[in-house]
Amino acid sequence: MPSLQSLDVQKRSATTTMSPSVRGADPAVAKLIDISKCIGCKACQVACMQWNDLRDEIGVNVGVLDNPGDLTPYSWTVMRFSEISKPDGNLEWLIRKDGCMHCEDPGCLKACPAPGAIVKYANGIVDFISENCIGCGYCIAGCPFNVPRISKTDNKAYKCSLCSDRVKVGLEPACVKTCPTGAIMFGSKVDMIRRGEKRTNDLKERGFQNAGLYDPKGVGGTHVMYVLQHADKPELYHGLPLDPKISPWVTLWKGITKPLMALGLGIAVLGAFFHYITRGPKEVEDSSNKGG
């Protein structure tokens, strides 16, 4: 949301030169969401609304506890409730706090054509600088987690900012602050990994053999991580991807294609000019209509 000068900018969308980076690097931060501790109370959703001054439209019951039924420009986090039938006949309720994962290699930023509309701070937070947003929706195509939403009112893209404004002044994100069970934690990424691994080991001892930390390498790791009871099957958690990556189509479109085609166009124009200089025009005698 806001452009926070006090957080070092590491990457800016549609920018080929270095971002301002004279200040010492902030340590990478991370939010750790321990799904095994979540009770689905949605206090985090309320805290997010409250801190960010967001009020979604009053929705309708979509038949499950998810409310609203999806992420929206006004709801940057949504509890996703998944009921799983276990092989032993029991049911398991998996509740995942959905929202921006703050990828180390953000697909939204890669796809964004508007200079500085998406930035990644040195601490790892990926933020939309909304006044630079042009509303093209490429961030939606770039995101491997289907997170950004475009407002129908102002045609700008929105998503969780990891409360970059709070983090800037040394506070934890609003959702972390409010979580009554301590299922959402915040700190340096190193600490959060350590914590997640410790919790994973506890879960394993308690019979969840496939418990694990979700910090997918395909996007360079994320600054929002999950402790999953079933890390071997993240899809159980409302389709959390097993191996999220920026789509190869986006990589092609926003990667090698750009310099190659820009070069191609330059060569074509220069080629035409050099052709004119070396070969000259085709002039037909007796033409009363010389030139263009």
For residues 228 and 238, is the Cβ–Cβ distance under 8 A? Answer: no
Q: Any contact of residue 284 with other proteins (CB under 8 A)?
A: yes
- On whether the CB atoms of residues 80 and 64 are closer than 8 A, the answer is no
Cβ distance to other proteins smaller for residue 92 or 131: 131
State phi, psi for 187 to the nearest 5 degrees.
175, -160
Question: Is the CB of 86 or the CB of 152 nearer to other proteins?
Answer: 152
φ/ψ of residue 117, rounded to 5: -80, -25
Pick the binder of other proteins from 100, 114, 192, 219 (CB under 8 A): 114
Which part of the chain contacts other proteins (CB under 8 A), choosing from 27-35, 40-48, 129-137, 221-229? 129-137
45: buried, middle or exposed (CB in 10 Å: 19+, 13-18, 0-12)? buried
Note whether 15 binds other proteins by CB under 8 A: yes
Cβ at position 118, least distance to other proteins in Å: 13
Q: Are 102 and 74 in contact (CB under 8 A)?
A: no
| Binding pattern for the stretch 133-172 against other proteins, x by CB under 8 A and - elsewhere | -xxxxx-xx----x---x-x--x-----------------
Nearer to other proteins by C-beta: 30 or 250?
250
Instruction: Assign 202 to helix, strand or coil.
Output: helix
Binding to other proteins, residues 189-248 (CB under 8 A): 247
Spell out, one character per residue from 251 to 280, where the chain touches other proteins: x when CB under 8 A holds, - when not: -xx---xxx-xx-xx--xx--x--xx--xx
DSSP codes of every residue in 93-156: EEEEEES---BSS-HHHHH--STTSEEEETTS-EEE-GGG-----HHHHH-TT---EE-TTT--
Smallest gap from residue 142 Cβ to other proteins (A): 8
* Residue from the set 115, 198, 217, 233 that interacts with other proteins by CB under 8 A: 115
Which residues on neighbouring strands pair with residue 208, listed in sequence order? none
Question: How many residues bind other proteins, per CB under 8 A?
Answer: 50
Which of 78, 203 has the CB closer to other proteins?
78
Of 19, 16, 15, 14, nearest to 112 by C-alpha is 14
**Is residue 57 part of the contact set for other proteins (CB under 8 A)?**
no
- Of 159, 94, 121, 147, whose CA–CA distance to 3 is shortest? 121
Binding site for other proteins (CB under 8 A): 14-16, 111, 113-115, 132, 134-138, 140-141, 146, 150, 152, 155, 247, 249-250, 252-253, 257-259, 261-262, 264-265, 268-269, 272, 275-276, 279-292
